[in-house]
Each structure stands twice: as structure tokens, then as C-alpha cells.
Structure 1
Amino acid sequence: MDYMDRELRYAPRDNDWDTSVQFLPASDNKKLEKKKGLGKIGAVIGVVVFAAVVALMTGLLVWHFHFRKDVRTKKIYTGSMRITNQVFVDAYENSNSSEFKALAKQVTTQLKAIYGKSPQLAKCYVGSTIQAFSEGSVVAYYLSEFSVPSGQESAVDKAMSSMEQLVDKEQRTMSRPGNSLVVEDVVSSAVDSRLFSSLFSDFVRYSEHARSNHIGEIQSPGFPNRPYSPNTFIQWQLRADPNHVIKLDFDTMNLEENCKNDFVKIYDSLVAIESRVMEEMCGYYSPSEHLTFISSGNVMLVTMATNDKLDFPGFRAQVSQIKRGSREITCGGQLTGENGKFTSPNYPNFYPPRMSCQWSIKVPTGKGVKLTFKKFYLSEPGQDSENCRKDYVKVNGKKVCGEQPDNKVTVTSNTNTMTVEFSSDKSYVDRGFEAAFEAIDVKDPCPNQFQCKNQQCIRKELKCDGWSDCGDLSDEINCKCSADAITCGNGLCKPMFWKCDGVDDCGDKTDEKDCGLCKPGQVACKNNKCVSEKNRCDGRDDCGDGSDELDCGRVSGTTCTDLTYRCRNGKCINKVNPECDGTPDCEDGSDEAKCDCGRSMFKTSRIVGGQDAEEGEFPWQVSLHVKGYSHVCGASIISPHWLVTAAHCVQDDGRTRYSQPGTWEAYLGLHTQGNNGNSVMKRNLKQVISHPNYNQFTFDNDIALMELESPVSYSDYIRPICLPAAQHVFPPGNTVWITGWGATREGGFAASVLQKAQVRIINQTVCDNLMGGQLTSRMLCAGVLSGGVDACQGDSGGPLSSPSGTRMFLAGVVSWGDGCARRNKPGIYSTVTKFRGWIKEKTGV
């Protein structure tokens, strides 16, 4: 019996309803006498009434027996059990062998006996099939089907969760046959409902046995020549030799983005036991992603399920085996010296399940140990970050789990020794950690620095500067705020440019008070006028600029203003930022036209500011080189022919004619400077157009256009960013991204790998005050969330990318700033919406 091919099978039970009918005696016999002239009519009426009663009773009985009692749910459970009184033979790998069939028959018989120990399971049990066997002594992988009456599903789940007790009951039965199997380590779980056969038109099964010094390959059917098939369930059973483990290394993973539709699941088992799932994947991963998995034993299962829409290229992976004790899967040991490093097994790839490691660190006598986690990724569905009951690291008796910021988890000891433990459970794996230890002076663990409560060391000048440099706010407690900072009501200090940006940074809304906002019961107009909330969306322009009638749900028939979105047919809609949001709002659909922009084709597993970008994460980023030299400025792709950059990048000086197209080379798809791989395209320029009103003294109108000498073809690494409509709103407080190869610090050297960092749009009035009144209406302010990160020399001309739904819009162009990453000095960007008409006039985009 194969559960993928079976339909529901069960026999309805007999019903014990009493169907007899009794009539009460009449109290007055005269009332039963026939009336004159009504004999025939009365008989007809009686027959009709009787027929109606019979029909009603029949209907009730049919409903009760057929519809009410027969509503059942098919439940499928998978599991495994270790058979300790059997020895594995090679024939057990072949499901058609007589040895396999004989042992399978024994196991199914025993499963029936086990389920028979539970009345709830016994009455619902349909049957079992044995899917596979593996070593140790012999592990049997089974699948059991139950036909469960409606409403009793949770009771069956509960009964299945007590399989260990049922097995114990069955094993202690006095009347067991002498040749019965002795079993232990019984695991059972309900099958993922997405794997049920009714959803699929095709079911395919493959097997692969890894060999030493050989790399096998598995791939989705049709890869790479055609997309995978729709409505298909596929599984690959992978085995290794005894005393080996499976290594599965994906070089391509390109599925539909939504895991509810198409997905790949990897199990540390030979059947789809949900308590043994290692990872679930969908979407498109960059080849630079580390997608390598290692099993805990010598088996692994890969499953793939597809629905009836949007088929993609699929995946390809290499299969090999690793001998137990190999460097990739060993961990723990003695670590000595002044300093050193260590990682979780298989880092930066995924660590195996069921791992237990212990490191003993010892530094010179008289010193203490300081341990810092450079990277820390131990996330898992259902993980409780407080108790860390699943995967965790334990240092000095304290557990740490989840995903932690780089270098933020620090532990010190007062002695010269430290013990570090790492544990992974049976399900879901992650990339693990990279840690470094060093010897410190116990009496002064942070020489000439401030020691945070979490034992991290920071520069003394960072204390009470308004930024949580420690990560636990311990450097910002009991502070006296400077004159250029916000004094929060709770005693914290915050940067002045966070005032009135619509975000509660203090935690008690101190920074959002006295902002010149409207009184309670009023709403603020775009022109700073206040009107009653009752006037919002009443069909009248009470603000005077129409902003009280925006986003009111009336798509058609909206009066056109400077704030409304104008469709291609000339009609306007009042929805804010309707373009490319996935919902057609214009009658002609023009708000969703030309939306092949602003998306990375790759699925990035993690996004953290102030670090290397992933390859292809910002495919619109361009590196502008002066011919014969290195990177000078950034730019953004807006079409196959055109780039947007800063006007100050293309101004001539005494030595170089930056305004001439022949001076430049544009590198598209670049990730690392000097590494021009297959994904990189180099283009010369046809023309350079600087904004005619650019002011080199104030940096007003700091924007320019570049036309490529020949159009570029889009790829996974080269794509345009979405251009916002002139009415697009980028509100203060919104998180945006800066990217570039500029200097990583003021006066420092340029970065070789593309950098990314999160910043936040700053209130225009507050920013203008911070910058001494130098802002114009065509400039936009953005500051950092955590300090020390900003655009810098070499980032000029690059994009300020603003996420909206699943896309990125070009909010600004890197223009100028007061130094780089200085506290309370945000970066200044040219506001792209102010130049939308000029861009369209010159480029047609």
C-alpha cells in the first residue's frame, strides 16, 4: 500500500437508532369518528401526511448514516523505529527483495499490534506500509494511515504522540510470539498536509547511494533544459556507507518564491518525518549562498512538491559521503594560548542535526577569558529565545540562541578557563557561529574603554552620546544629555535629528512632543495646515492641497492635484504610492505597467546593515570608473540604456574632463572591485547629461544622467531600480538602504566588496536645523539607526533604495554630507521625485 496512490478506505458502522413509532391513545373516542362527506378526503390527507412523515424520517436517517457518521478525515503518519534483534543486510535496500518483504510484513504486523494497545487508534487504523530500511541495527521507516471521524483528529494526534508508551505496552505483552521484533527509539509525526496525493498528478521516487571518492548528482526533472513539472511530488532517498554521513551541496536553487506553492524539504531520515526536517527552501538563491547540509546518520531524504502554476528551473545538488570523524563534522576540544578562533561544525554552511560539542578554553595563568561571537545564527521555528530549548550555545552555564548581531554576544570569565557547549536538536539546522577568544586582564577587562553590562568593550567617548553602542543601552543609562541631543523623559539621550520623525525613539514619545503637530481630533495636511478628522475623506478639499482626500478608497473619479497619481489615460487616483504595488488601481492598469524593476532575483537569507552585500542583492548598483583608474562614483540602472548619478561626479576639474562620456567606464553587475566575472558587464558611455541648474556651491539639483553606448541585457545580477512617480511619498522614519564601494570611514580606503547599510529618512525641518539651513526642497535627509554608518567619498551618485512591498524605489542619489558617519550629521541625497519630469524628458523612462 502506497499512501501517495491510495484513496480513503473504511466501512461505516451499524447504527443503533430505535426507529419504532408509538401513538398516544385518544382521550375522546368521539373525536375519532369519521365526519360525513369527508371519508375520501380524509383518507387522501392521511396518506399524504403519512408519506410526508416517512419521507422526513427517511431523510433524517440518510443524513445521519451517510452524511453525519461518514464524515471522516484521512490522516497519514510517518515514523521510524529501531529493531534491535535484527542485523542489516544489503538486500534490505531493495524493496523488491524477498528479505525486504519478509521483514516488512513482520513490521506491519507489529505496528498493528502496537496501535491495538490504544482504543482510539485501533478503531481508526487502516494499514501501514514500510518505505525503507537502514543500518543501526535495522531502522524501519513506516507510513500508517488512519480514517478518523470528524472532530476526533486531535484525540488521534494525542494518541500517536504516546507511541513510546504503546510500544512499551506491546513489548511487555505476555502472549507475544517468540519471533516478535524488539523495537526502541520509535518516532512518529503527522505528514505535512501539502504532501497528500490528491494534490499531485505525478509521483516520482529516486534513490542514490553515495560512494567514497565519488560525487553524485540529483536534480529536479528537466533541469537545466526545461522547468520542473507542475502538480508533482518527487523524493530522493539518499544513503551513505556505514560509518559515513551524507553531504548535500546545492549549486542551484531556483523555485517559486512562495513556499506554499513550490518547495524543497530536506529530512534527516528516509521518510518525511516532520520532527526530522532539516530545512525547507523555496525562491531563488545566489550561487554564493552556502547551501550545504550534512546528515546526522547515513541517510537523508530530499522531497520536492509543486503546484499547478508558475514553474521555475528547479535545483541541482551534489551528493557525497563523509567519513565520521572528518574535520567538517568534528567539533570541541582543548583551545589554549593568548587568543584563537573556533566555529560550529561545517560553518559557514549548515551544521548537522543531533550535534553535541564542548570546547575547553585555557589562557595563561592570571588572565581572564573574553569570548566574542563574530557571527551567530542559531534560529529555528518554534525556538524560545528566552529558554533556548532547541539549538543553543551555552557559555558559563548561560544559553544563547536565535540570531544575534555581529560581535554583540560577549562573555568574560574571572579565571583563565572557560567552557563552551554547542547543541543542535533533531530538527531544523542553521549556519551556526564563528567565535574568537582572547586573554584579558581580569582587573581591567576593557583598558581605556567602557565596559558594557553585556561585557562588551566600547570607546569611552561613545558613552552617553545618544546611541546604544553596547546593544543593551547600558552605555546610555544615567546620562546627562548634551545641548544638541534630545533629553528623553526616561533619562535616555537621543540624536536631535530623530526628533519629530514619527518614530518613538525615546520609548516614552518625548522625541515626538512639541513638534508643531495638530491637536487631538485633527489631522495634518501636507502643507502643515490642520483640519478636523471629520473632514478627512468627506469629498471636499479642506486642506487646500487635497491631502485630506488621499488614500480614501475612492479609486476613480478623483480630482487631479499635485499630490494625486495620474494614470496614463489622464485620470487620477487618490491612493498613495500605487505604482508597482501588485494591485491595478488605474482603469487602464498603467500603475502596474513597466514594473520589471526594483527586485533582486535572489532570495537572501539575512539582511543586516553595515556589512558586505550579497551578490545580486542590489542589481541596479553601478560602479563608475575613470578609464585607466579605479572606482570613482556610483550610479543606478533605470533602463537598458540609462543610468542616474550625481551631477557633482561629472564636473570638470583642471586635470580631467568628467563631463565627457569618453572619460568613463561603467561596470554593471559588479560585486567585488577588480573581480570582473561572467556576471559583470562593462559599458562605455554615449552621453553625459548634468542637470542644467546644478549649483556646485550648494549642491542643489545634484543629479545627472548617463546614456550607455550600447544597451545592457538584464540578468540575475543586472536589473533596474524602480523610478518613483512625482507624487511618491517617502515618509520620515522609513528605513531605506545605502550601498556603495566608498570609503569605509572618513579619510579611509575604499571598500573592495559592495557595502550595504540601513538608514532612516529624517524629518526635513529637523535636518535643516542640524545642517545649518543648507537644505533645499530638492534635498532629502537620511541618518543611521545605530551610528557609525553613512555614505562617504566614493559612494556619491549611488542609490538610496527605499523598499515598498516587494520592490525597491530610487528615493535619492548620494549627494553630500558633513564628513562621513559623524554623529548627528546625516547624509544628504538628491530627491528623485523632484526630478521625475526631467528624467522622463531626457530618457523617456
Structure 2
Amino acid sequence: MKKKDKHNHHGRHGPPHEHGPGHPHDRQNKRRGHGRFDAITHDEFFQIIPGGDGGDDDEDDESSDWLYDLQEPEGVCVPNPCLHNGVCREKERGKRKFKCDCPKPFKGKKCPKRCKRGQCGRGECVVTSKPPYYECKCKAPFLPPNCVDYEVCEPNPCQNGGTCVRDGNDFDCTCSPGFTGRLCKVGPDDCYTDDGESYRGNVSETDDGHDCLFWNSHFVLEDGTNPFDTTDKEDGLGPHNYCRNPDGERMPWCFYRKGRDLKWDYCDVRKCDDPTGTVQDMWTATAQKQITRIYGGLKPTPGSLPWQVSVQMRPRNSNVPFSHTCGGVLIESCWVLTAGHCIQTNKDMQVVLGSQDLSAKEPDEQVLTVEEAIRHENYSEKSYAVYNDIALLRLKGQNGKCAEESQFVKTACLPDGPLPDGMECTISGWGSTENSSYGSHHLLEAKVLLINQQKCSQPQIYGRVLDNGMLCAGHLAGGVDSCQGDSGGPLSCEQNSAYMVYGLVSWGDQCGKKNKPGIYTRVAKYVDWIRSKTMIKK
């Protein structure tokens, strides 16, 4: 593939949709269908040539003769200048003239032609791997297979329930609510995250309104075999004209043609909403991935979750009362395990152990100051997920002793291996409930099931954003889940009469939503890291 020239972007460096509603790039306000019919019929590459063979077009072959001459061939046909297994025949001895007998469907001086000017009428010619080695992609309103005949709005070119509105030989699509694009292909959830490397949506227009070329267009591919199968490659390229970012640009892009020149530009694709500046702000998001996440919970009996910790914060060096921010798990007298996104360096921190009701001081609770917070070195926040979401809190104590073990304060074990899918475990915390978005004063618990990672990675659930540092737990039907304020709290599982902290509440898509179970940090992956920081022995 070639990617050299680029359309001048007029000095605008932000994403295409930084402009507001009503901007001329808004597809619903931009009646770009008008004049399109004339533009197609006047384009030299969409001309209808009698006979349909596009002429000889040998002028393109002549431009590459200089390269052949530089190779200093031993003879006119050595090495063979004919491409695609063409047979070279010497025409006139001593004058370096040759003729290529080309296998069908290749034609031309050196057999390079699969797609030729005029071969596809009013459509784009794309390269294929199988005979006849090309395919015509018609420009609406021209009809397949030869892109010569046309019919406006019959059949309806507008997709996803869009209505075709005719205006002479041109048309516009009035899209159903939530759908955009000239042919209504772009759905309401069609957007990209980060730099768009993982974008697999349906946008096929540049920011300046040019139609994207197919990735297997003959304008894009050099001579040779079509590299694309019928299914997308890992980088999202294939026999389609949807925008992608296979080479690390700042957002999805595509090739387009201007006359005989091949150019590229960024696409008119929306960046997924990210209401955050920090992970903590995501707690207030409505439809975005929430990094805090107990719906359907019940009050546990006192002392049944003695490793549960309330992580509390206040502004640094202030006299403001501490308030509950996250959950945590006591794993050693002076060490608490929590989520990485719970750490705020500009806050004073303390932990409360042995408490059931945060609205009242209880006789069995213990309050300890956090002396140091250690977040995982590879912690990473994305708008769609949080990676390596784990941290340790070192508590302040005396003579290596901090928390005092009691009926209501005990440590949880670290896992020593994987647990079976479908196993029932317990989640707990003081987070938001179905009745209170501000959280519960009383500790709640609920039973959830460990969900198969492959199942959880299906497109309708969480897709490909999960890694082996995460695990799914909950109920795919929804209803029971962790929620805001539970972050960092335990997913506790019983094995051999001992309770282990198998996961930490990390993130998820809303709370208690169907097909959106909670995502938990897989503690088993980080046991070595935990031991290296705490010196806790096996």
C-alpha cells in the first residue's frame, strides 16, 4: 500500500467533530447528493467506453520502462518483464522491443491490467484474488453488475430504514433517528476510542466529504495479488471502504482519489464520548463505562466479611471530615488491597475496618491512617477499560502491627490459582444501589457467578477490550452487580473452608445492566507483584 500525499487539512488539528451542531460537516445538514450524478458522469475514470475494455492504456506501462532499463537485462526477455506469468516474445532483434502474451484477464504491454479505465462504467474497479480478478463497485444511483444503467431510489440505497428522497437524477437519504452518513450506514454507537486503531465501524467518508476508496482499489494496491481475504485482517483492512487506522495515525483515515492522484485524509468519524478527566469523574457518567461499580444486595451478618475495608479520603492537610470513596481488602495487618483508580495523590487517606454502618461509629471498628499508596506501575486508564487496576495501601502502625485481629477484623487469603467458571462468589461494599445513587450507609453483599472469559469477550458483551488481568462476574441477565462506591472492594470466593480475595471491583458498563456484568481485577495475576511490595510470605 502507498501512503504519501495528503490533502491539506487547513491547519485544524482537532478531531473532526470538535465543531458544534450545524457545522457544514454535519451530514444531516449537508445535502451533498445534489450534483453528484453530474460529478460521476464527468469523472474520466467513470466513463462508459464502447466495448467495455477501457482501451489499450499502454501509456501507463511506458512510464515504468526506465526502471526496466536500469536493471541492465541480459536480453530483451531476460529477466522477464511480463507480469502475472505473461510470456515475453522479442519483436525486433537488437531494438529491445518485446511483446507480452498475457493470460486472461490481464492485458497491456506488460500484463499489469486487471482494472482499466472505463471497465466498470460508473463504478470503481477493485482487485480480487480470484477470476476474473476484479469487481465493479457501482456509484449510486448506477446499478450493478456493470454500473451503466441507473435508477434513482429504486432499489432504495438508504440503509437502516432510511428514506430516499429523489431530486432529478440525484437523491438524498433521510436517515432514521441515530443514523448518519450519506447512505445511513453509520449507527448511533459508531465511534472510535484512543487513536482509532480498534475502530471497526462503517464511516466511509473523509472529513472533507470525499468518498473513501476500497482498500483493494486498484488505485491503492500495487501490481500483485490482492492481499485481502473475504474477512477482515487483524488491522481491520479488507475488501471494503470503511475508515481504519492501521499505521498509528491520530485517528481513522482512508485513501481517496482526486483526478489521477491518490491521496489520504482523516475521516468524518466521531470520537466516543469520554466525560472524564480522571477515573473518579467517571462515577457520574450515565451511559459510559463506569469505573466504580451493589445492586440487588442484602445486609450481611456482622463479622461475616471481616476483611472488608472502607477507604476514605479528604483534601490534603485539611480538617474536612473523611468520606467513603472506595472499598478495599485487608490482606495483612498493615496492608490493604484496592483498585488502582482509587488512588488520589492529593488526598489524605484512612481506612475503617470492622464497620457495618458508616453513618455511625461502631464499637468494633478500627480506624487506621494510610502511610503510603502504591499503584501498579503499568496502571492505565482508557475511556473503555482500566488496565492493571490494582494498588496497595500501607497502614501506619507500631512495631509492624497495625490492624488488630478480632471477630470483626480478619485478613483474606490471596488466590493460588484459577477457580472454575460458574462458581458462586460474594461481592460487597457501600456503593450505589437501585434505590440510592449516592451509596448505601450499610454494608451490602450479593452473590455473583464467575463468567467464562471467552463468553465475556463476545461482541455483545465487552468485546476485545478485556485482558488476562481482568475477570467477569455477575449475571448476564442483569440485576445483581457492584456499582459506584464499591470500587476496590472484594470479590470473595470460598475454597477449602478459606476465603480468598479472587477479584477487586474495577469497572463496568453501568450497573446491573443486561449483558454487562462487572469487571474485576484478577488478583491471581498480581500475587507475585503483591508479595514483592509487601514481603508477605506464602
TM-score normalised to structure 2 length: 0.41
Q: Which has the higher strand share?
A: 1
TM-score normalised to structure 1 length: 0.26
Q: Which has the higher helix share?
A: 1
Larger RCO: 1 or 2 (CA < 8 Å, sep 6+) = 2
**Rg larger in 1 or in 2?**
1
